[in-house]
Amino acid sequence: MRVLVITGAGVSAESGIPTFRGKDGYWRNLDPAKLATPEAFARDPELVWEWYRERRQRICNAQPNAAHAAIAKLARHADEFLLVTQNVDDLHARAGLPKEKMVQIHGDIFVTRCSRCSFSDAGRGGSPEPPTDRAVLQRGRLRSIAPTSENDVDLPRCPECDALMRPGVVWFGEQLDSRKVEIVENFLRRGSCDLVFVVGTTAVFGYIIDWAVQAAGRKGQLIEVNLEETPVSQFATQLVRGPAAIALPRIVDELIN
Ligand code: OAD
C-alpha cells in the first residue's frame, strides 16, 4: 500500500492550536501582512517574534491528538508513506511519525534561521523542553547584541553575519524550500498512490491540490477529511465531514484490521 497524507491546521485544531481561516482562526483577528511576510519582519521584527514565540509556547503546551496518532499508525502499516504537512508545529513528530516520512512544506516553527545568510539553528534537536526565549538564544549559540533601541532587546542575531534571526517558516510571498519540494516530487514520480488523505486544510495553495490529485492518479482513492467543503472536495472519491481526531482513527483502523 502506497500512501500520501497531506495535512493542514485542522489536524492540530483538536490539540488546541488555532487554525488560520476558521471562525477562531488567527487570520480572523490578525493581519497576515503584519505578521507573516518578509516585509512585516523588516518593519517590526519585535512584533513578529512576539507572535512566533507565543505560538511556540502554545505548541509546547499542546499534545498530539488521535488524528496525529492515526496518521503515525498508518505510516507504520503502509509499504511506502509520505506525510506533507503545512503545519509548522511538531505534533506529527511527537505522535511518533519518523522525520524521514514527513515533509514540513511550510517550515518548522522551532527552527531559527538567519534572515540574510544560510545559518540555521537546528531547532530543538528532539528536546521535549519548551524553547524559552533564553534557551533558544543559548542553544543556537546566538547572542543578542547590545540593544540599539528599546525594541531591539533580545532579538536573536546571526553568529555568522550579525543579521537578525527569523523563524524557520515560509511566509507569504516566499518560495517553498526547493529541497522539500524535491522530496515530494520524487515520491510522486515513483508512482501513484493507493490512498491519498487530505486532512484539515482549506487547500488555498495550488500545489496542495496538484499534489493530491497527481498522487491519486486514475486509480487511487482520494479521501478528504474536513469539517467543510474545500477546493479539493471536487476531486475526492470520499468525503468525510467530521473532526479529524474522530474520523481518522476509525478510517485507519478499518484499513488495517
Ligand atoms: P486553514 O486555517 O486555512 O484551514 C483549516 C481547515 O481545517 C479548514 O478547512 C477547516 O474546515 C478544517 N478543520 C478545522 N478543524 C478541523 C477538525 N477538527 N477536523 C478536520 N478539519 C478541521 O489552515 P491551512 O489549510 O493549514 O501558511 O492553511 C494553509 C496555510 O495558510 C498555513 O500553512 C499557513 C496559512 O496562512 C503560511 O503561513 C505560509
Which residue positions in the chain have pLDDT lower than 70? 123-153
pLDDT score for 142: 32
pLDDT score for 153: 58
CA gap 71, 216 in Å, rounded: 18
CA gap 170, 164 in Å, rounded: 16
CA gap 159, 142 in Å, rounded: 6
CA 81 to centroid of ligand 1, rounded, Å: 22
pLDDT score for 33: 86
- For ligand 1, atom 38: residue with the closest CA: 171
Q: Is 106 a catalytic residue?
A: yes
pLDDT score for 23: 81
pLDDT digits 0-9 by tens, 34-52: 899 999 999 999 999 999 9
Q: How far is CA 113 from CA 108, 120, 160, 210, in A?
A: 10, 4, 11, 29
CA 233 to centroid of ligand 1, rounded, Å: 14
pLDDT score for 215: 98
Q: What is the pTM of this model?
A: 0.91
pLDDT score for 189: 97
- For ligand 1, atom 32: residue with the closest CA: 86
Q: Which of 68, 77, 92, 106 is catalytic?
A: 106
201 Cβ below 6 A of ligand 1? yes
